[in-house]
Amino acid sequence: MDQDPKEAVPEEKEKSGATKSGSQTQHHNYRILQDAIGDNIPASPKFKQPMVFDLLLAVGLLVAVGGFTSGLIRIYVTHVAKDNINQHNYKAAINILKRNPVPDFFSGFGSDPNELLNQALYLDAIEKLEEDPNNQTAINQLNKINAGSRFFSHAQQIINEKTVPSNVQLQQSVTKEGEAVEPKEEEKLKEMLDEPED
């Protein structure tokens, strides 16, 4: 059962030949790759990215994604509020817009939630005043409408019609020099100006 030493030698030659051909193909592949890339292979990268740059990039992406998300929330809130206003459900629209979770910093395109709130307050107050002309909560709602809104002047007219003026009123005026004039002196000035000239 012993093998002939002559037969064992060819097997070893086959194994060593296989490894030589394998190393030759690897060397050949490396040579092709090196020729394709060129001889200017940098030993180390020239630009090392500092960690601070990574942190700034991460913070910037977080702010961008946060702004985008809050914009979507704002669009959703205004859409729901508009639907409630169109369905004459003003109380729900007022509650949604008062609890608006989106700060004005992230305000984007679309309807302004403050203007929608003013509209809902105005329409709810009008509806309440149609049911009861002396409803004070409706007048208080009209007082909450911000100046600059398109509903402000209408709300002020209704407030002036529905409120009783106070018995005590201030009577003082300002002249061109900026000094206050007593009411009695003002009446004297008016009388002098109203007197017919001879």
CA distance 117 to 96: 9
Please state the length of the chain: 198
CA angle 163, 168, 169 (to 5 degrees): 85
Exposed, middle or buried by CB within 10 Å (0-12, 13-18, 19+), for 78?
Answer: buried
Tens of pLDDT along 117-134? 899 999 999 999 899 888
Which H or E run contains 136?
A: helix 136-143
- Residue 183 in domain: no
Total domains, the chain: 1
Tens of pLDDT along 49-78? 778 888 999 999 999 998 888 888 888 888
- Residue 101 in domain: yes
- Residue 171 in domain: no
- Residue 149 in domain: yes
- Residue 71 in domain: yes
CA distance 33 to 29: 6
Domain membership of residue 133 as a residue range: 56-162
Tens of pLDDT along 137-158? 888 898 888 888 888 888 888 8
pTM attached to this predicted model: 0.54
Q: Which of 62, 75, 61 is nearest to 107 (CA)?
A: 75
- Residue 136 in domain: yes
